[in-house]
A and B are shown apart, each in its own frame.
Chain A
Amino acid sequence: MDNKCDKCGKPAPIHVFDIIQGQKIEKHYCNQCAVSEGVAFHYHMTLSQILEEFVLQGGEQTGALDPVCDVCGMRFSEFRQQSLLGCPHDYDAFAEAMLPLLERAQGGATQHVGKVPHRAGGDQKKHTALLRLRAELKNAIVAEDYEKAAMLRDQIKELDNT
């Protein structure tokens, strides 16, 4: 997005136009200014904005702590940068650091109350084992260790079919 906000110069994802006496007038706004100008209201706050706000409010008690997921290798700091998690295990690996963020993003809720899959959860241990094997496989391929990769692939196949 190369447009800049007419009000404050930040990147502007929101564009509106008016046609006044046959002249088209285009306006660009960032999320905040779109709200203050009455163009958009209460936009989806992105996780990165929540993260930013969270730091500004001094809510980061974890300090230098930067938990890492031992399954996929994702660091909490990396998650903060891209707002996307690496694997399902991250929800537990980052539990302490993430809970206040989740609460903030989810209007205070921290417990699911809706639909449960009819084959609920399946075999948790198996799924975590599969996640680990898949992470190892990815590393083996990066390291061009094709022998190991082939072995891991067989293991995944075997476990996946049980």
Chain B
Amino acid sequence: MTYPFLGDPAQYVGEWLCGTGPMVDVAVSSRVRLARNLAGIPFLSRCSVGQKRELETRLRREIAACPIAEKVFYIDISTSAEVDRRLLVERHLISREHAEAEHPRGVAVSADETVAIMVNEEDHLRIQVLRSGLQLIETAQRIQQVDDALEDRLDFVFHSRYGYLTACPTNVGTGLRVSVMLHLPALKMTGEIEKAFRAARDLQLAVRGLYGEGTEATGDFFQVSNQTTLGKKEEDIIEEFRQQIVPRFVDYERRARDGLLKRQNTALEDKIFRSLALLRSTRMIGSDETMYLLSLVRLGVSIEKIKDVDLRTVNELFLLTQPAHLQRMLKREMDPQTRSAARAEYLRRRLGASSS
């Protein structure tokens, strides 16, 4: 069975882009992932190619037999076209490393793209649940369901002292990594971002100034995740994020937005509407500049300056204007110049071009 978006990626986008959910003006998406390995089988660094292939076949079969979601698609990454692998990275369904590796590997994805299970990444299994906005309780519950369902059929390697054993000791214990993607344009503009992150450092968080996992960098998106996986209960890690960490960043950002609205309203409006106008009239545009301008438009929509564009559209455009998506939507390979023109055309169409 082929995965639907591989045919037409604009027809189906993941739930996490829908632009709803608590604090979605700042907290773009919530992701939880678990690292798991089978007992009695070496970690991947010590598996021969044959053993990796055997493992991949077995895990693919077991996942298919698990009641994980109504519909689950399996994509064999080792035989996928490069553009499809990049598409999966852009959609945050696999890591860049998983796309670029060379051994037998794959990913199982639920139809709504909330659940993705990478097979033979750094660990035998990397389970991820991704949702829109700050939905950590739902995300955490969902991933436990998936983990329990898999555990009914598979023996995961577990150590009485170190918990779930992982190929890299930085993931040992719960194997759980929570990441929340934050959109912090106002803090960036006011220059207060450093102050906000100094607080993060004290909370032992990892913060990366990146859009997603190294897909595209824009200065306004930051991913906050827990640094340690051992010595804390899963619920406690999640609750800390939900009740303290994320609300704190959201509060900082909202206050910075209020400050700009009060003191520099015209300058702010100028930035926002200039960006929207540019996106609506451009004839050629690269993906970095697109991200930069979309970030300002996203801010404009969040603070209700822009009323004729919704958050969902902006979120979708972040994804659909990336290189692999653009090529797949227009069903041809393009050199960067043609791509810039196609991107501009698509943006004009989705944002409602100004006349001419």
Contact = CB atoms under 8 A, between A and B. Distances in A.
B169 A24 contact: no
Contact of A15 (B46, B167, B217, B234): B217
A43 B206 contact: yes
B43 A85 contact: yes
Interface in B1-59: 37, 39-48, 50-51
Given A105-B228, A107-B228, A84 B158 contact: no
B229 interface: yes
Given A14-B217, A85-B167, 5 more contacts: A17-B288, A40-B207, A83-B168, A112-B231, A135-B42
Nearest to A13: B214
Interface of A: 13-19, 24, 26, 34, 38-47, 72-74, 82-88, 91, 98, 101-102, 105-122, 126-128, 130-131, 134-135, 138, 141-142, 160
A128 B352 CA distance: 63
Nearest to B36: A117
Interface stretch (B67-75, B193-201, B323-331): B193-201
B159 A112 contact: yes
B174 A109 contact: no
Contacts of A119: 151, 155
A44 B46 contact: no
A88 B48 contact: no
A74 B228 CA distance: 25
A42 B41 contact: no
B206 A117 contact: no
A91 B217 contact: no
B205 interface: yes
Residue with the greatest number of chain A CB neighbours at <10 A, chosen from B167, B194, B225 = B167
25 contacts: A13-B214, A16-B219, A18-B292, A34-B209, A38-B193, A40-B207, A41-B201, A41-B207, A42-B204, A44-B170, A85-B168, A86-B45, A87-B43, A88-B39, A91-B169, A105-B228, A106-B169, A109-B228, A114-B174, A115-B144, A115-B234, A117-B158, A122-B39, A135-B42, A138-B46
A114 B41 contact: no
Contact of B42 (A126, A131, A142): A131
A85 B155 contact: no
Q: Is the interface on chain B under 10, 10 to 19, 20 to 34, or 35 or more residues?
A: 35 or more
B231 A110 contact: yes
Contacts of A131: 40-42
B48 A127 contact: no
Contacts of B172: 91, 102, 106, 112
Which label, helix, strand, loop or mixed, suits the secondary structure of the A interface? loop
A27 to B, nearest CB: 9
Nearest to A83: B168
B103 to A, nearest CB: 14
Given A39-B209, A113-B232, A86 B42 contact: yes
Given A17-B219, A34-B209, A105-B170, A87 B42 contact: yes
Given A42-B201, A101-B169, A138-B51, A106 B42 contact: no
Contacts of A39: 209, 219
A42 B205 CA distance: 7
Contacts of B160: 112, 121
B217 A134 contact: no
A2 to B, nearest CB: 14
A114 B42 contact: no
B209 A84 contact: no
A109 B232 contact: yes
A115 B174 contact: yes
